[in-house]
Copies of this chain bind each other. A is one copy, B any other.
Amino acid sequence: MTVRIGMIGPGGMGQAHLDRIRTVIAGAEITGVSDIAPDNVRTVCEKYGVRGFDSSAELIASPDVDAVMICSYGPAHEADVIACIEAGKPVFCEKPLTPDAAGSLRIMEAEQKAGRRLVTVGFMRRFDRSYSEMKAILDSGEVGETLVIHNRHRNPGVPERYTWDMAINDTGIHEIDTMRWLTGEEIVRVRVDKPKKTTRRFEHLQDPLILIMETTSGIWMDDEIFVNNQHSYDIQCEAVAELGTIRLSDQHAVERTGVLGRHNVLTMDHNQRFGGAFVTEVQQWISAVACGEHTGSTSWDGYAAACVCDAGVRALESDTWVPVEMIDKPDFYA
């Protein structure tokens, strides 16, 4: 069976998904796209030779669309995700599921009413080979209980419009989801420490900052978020367990030696570092849809990430721990 995909909001990330589906993904074809910007619809339709829908509602309702990918602006997610649920169509929604926890709660309610898990949130790191291998080792029990996890999320630079809260909501959210997934636990409180700031970028930004998180069982996790390091997209993760530590490797394909010393070119953005993870993520979603199954992160994962982000943003203005407020996990997501 070929899964027929409709895409809402094909911007940069969305078009990258369209390119993947056309060139390296099995079992899918693109039916059409919609966008609040009619110009963009026209451009994308021409480029990919697909149909343009006048609205997301029309796209979701189309009998030629089996499943929907949502790559639009965050605040627009909730209505379209709920429409997909009500139409009984699987939906892949880019992160964040919703900008705040309340919207995700409403999505969970709709999904529970539908009685079937239809929503997948686009947290691609769960599909990265190195993170997956780390999780497999931790899950195997061979290193005992996990006690501490150290993360680094570094970018070469961000534009001036990047605001303080985006360090949590757009950047740290990746570690928030990855830590929940790696440990299988919820995050119960967070703190933000504020180191000396870099002088090499916009004055308004506290950069770097350290997001500190604690899980239900007390696992302590830090995330150094430094979005103007001037040199590379550098993602690190080291899990310290009772009997051993596991860390992501440097991920270099080759090693060079020359007048610059022993040196390697670094990745500069998430597409370079997680290109393989994006392909696996979309492929697994397509394959699952074809079998009527669910894969990847759920609405609950989207909700939980939003709750931790809410606490993280409050922690930006605090010098101490901020508790994460969230409902008990519905059995539906157990």
Contact = CB atoms under 8 A, between A and B. Distances in A.
Interface of A: 21-28, 129-130, 133-134, 137, 143-148, 150, 193-200, 208, 210, 212, 217-220, 222, 224, 226, 229-232, 234, 240, 242-266, 276, 283, 287, 319-321
Contact of A249 (B143, B222, B253, B276): B253
A133 B253 contact: yes
Contact of A246 (B137, B231, B254, B259): B254
B240 A258 contact: no
Contact of A319 (B28, B198, B321): B321
A252 B254 contact: no
B26 A254 contact: no
A196 B147 contact: yes
Contacts of A147: 195-198, 208, 226
Which of A25, A137, A222, A256 is most buried by chain B, counting CB atoms within 10 A of its CB? A256
Contacts of A258: 143, 230-231, 243-245
- Interchain residue pairs A-B with the least CB separation, the first 3: A244-B258, A263-B263, A195-B220
Contacts of A264: 261-263
Contacts of A259: 230-231, 243-244
A103 to B, nearest CB: 32
Contacts of A212: 193
Contacts of A193: 212, 220
A148 B252 contact: no
B248 A232 contact: no
Nearest to A134: B254
A245 B230 contact: no
Given A193-B212, A255-B247, A242 B200 contact: yes
Contact of A231 (B198, B200, B244): B244
A266 B159 CA distance: 36
Nearest to A262: B264
Residue of A26, A145, A218, A287 ringed by the most chain B CB atoms within 10 A: A26
A230 B243 contact: yes
